[in-house]
Amino acid sequence: MASKHLKLISYGLFGLIIVAALAAYLGGSKPVKVIITSVERGLVQDTVANTRAGTIKACHRAGISPSMGGQIASLPVKVGDAVKPDQVLMELWNEDRLAEVSLAEREAKAADARARQACVLADVAKREAQRLRKLSKKGLASEEAIDKAEGEALAQKAACNAAKASAEVSQARLDVAKALLDRTRLTAPFAGIVAEINGEVGEFVTPSPVGVPTPPAIDLVDINCLYVSAPIDEVDAPAIRVGMPAKISLDAFSKKIFDGTVKRIAPYVLDIEKQARTVDVEVDFTNTEESRNMLPGYSADIEVILAEQKHALRIPTEAILEGNKVLVLGADGLLAERQIKSGLSNWEFTEVLTGLKENENVVVTVDRDGVEHGARAESEAPQ
């Protein structure tokens, strides 16, 4: 009886083993789903990107304030106004300066008139001396009279020169008065847009004390000329050169990539605490018309193109495994590991120099469970 029970148990265990083996076989034969892409020819670029977000900046931007303190008498502009070079943006109370200019102008006119009078008298005295010299040749004028006339002519000429010098001094005083008056007027150093005004009519403004920065009276921005300034890791910076092409992307214009050109590489490395050391790289927009609707302060990213191949054999960079290997889906439905030699590369595509042929199918979803050398797989459409 015991022997019969042992046989039944043995048969049961054997059946379970067969069922388990069959289940394992059927489960193992189920192909894993993968997304594949064909090896193709196209553009591959070797690029360097910024480590932190860059910023759109204006080629000309100035926070300006009067060079002297005073009470604001007028604000001919408002925020958002477009202004021309030398246009008055703010004027301080300056009636005393205006009076000084008016006085200096009158003094300059009077000095000029005196100079003209003295020079006319000098010209008359000179002609009188010449007339007496001619008469002396005929015996009609004495030497004493001639000496007196010539001495008078010289004196009048000196008076003319002195009057001219005095007129020049008066003109210089007028220039000083006008310069002092100009200090009460804040003018635009370039054409631009008034971005901010700190102050109202009737308020007092004072120059910033030494070492104590204060907000500018007016922030003036030229938005017709914009560029991107972005930090590049110190390891990548040595490969960048002025004139290299670049791509510009902005969060505000997420659907468009703009062409640019490297215009400046900072001659020093920024050493900011708790951050990687970086070098600021500035990039101009190739087509300035494309930047018309942008504003200074937008965040922006740059991708400097170090080298490129327009007809390279390429695969997506995400398809490459550690050790420069890829998984190829063969005609038999099995995945095969393949060693490749790569060339130019960026986050999107990598150039394949050897190891793959055009139109071979490479697995992109290499991080899925079960995707490995020798596994059975079938392609699915990308989501």
Q: Residue 5: what pLDDT?
A: 54
Residue 26 clears pLDDT 50, i.e. is over it: no
Q: Residue 18: what pLDDT?
A: 60
- Higher-confidence position of 292 and 187: 187
Cα gap 270→288, rounded to integer Å: 29
Residue 137 clears pLDDT 80, i.e. is over it: no
Q: Residue 291: what pLDDT?
A: 87
> In Å, how far are 6, 8, 25, 26 from 13, measured between CA atoms?
11, 9, 18, 20
Segment 118-137 mean pLDDT: 87
Residue 371 clears pLDDT 60, i.e. is over it: yes
Calculate the average pLDDT of the chain: 88
Cα gap 245→243, rounded to integer Å: 6
Cα gap 59→63, rounded to integer Å: 13
Q: For 220-243, give the DSSP string.
A: EEEEEEEEEEEEEETTTGGG--TT
Q: Residue 37: what pLDDT?
A: 93
Q: Residue 318: what pLDDT?
A: 93
Q: Tell me the pLDDT band of 10, cut-offs 50, 70 and 90.
A: low
Q: Residue 14: what pLDDT?
A: 59
| 3-class state of residue 247 by DSSP | strand
Give pLDDT tens digits for 289-331.
Answer: 888 888 899 999 999 999 999 999 999 999 999 999 999 999 8
- Higher-confidence position of 121 and 137: 121
Judge contact between 75 and 198, C-beta under 8 A: no
Q: Tell me the pLDDT band of 180, cut-offs 50, 70 and 90.
A: very high
Q: Tell me the pLDDT band of 29, cut-offs 50, 70 and 90.
A: low
Q: For 272-325, give the DSSP string.
A: -TTS--EEEEEEEESSGGGGTT--TT-EEEEEEEEEEEEEEEEEEGGGPBTTTE
Q: Residue 128: what pLDDT?
A: 86
Residue 8 clears pLDDT 70, i.e. is over it: no
Q: Residue 116: what pLDDT?
A: 93
Q: Residue 11: what pLDDT?
A: 53
Segment 166-180 mean pLDDT: 94
The share of the chain scoring above pLDDT 70, in percent, equals 91
Which residues contact residue 31 at a Cβ distance below 8 angstroms, ignoring those fewer than 6 apart?
333, 375, 376, 377, 378
Q: Picking from 3-7, 70-74, 150-154, 317-321, which range would have the lowest pLDDT averaged per residue? A: 3-7
Which amino acid is located at 135 in the chain? L
Segment 219-245 mean pLDDT: 92
The share of the chain scoring above pLDDT 90, in percent, equals 63
Q: Picking from 2-11, 61-70, 177-186, 219-228, which range would have the lowest pLDDT averaged per residue? A: 2-11
Parallel, antiparallel or unpaired: strands 32-34 and 377-379: parallel
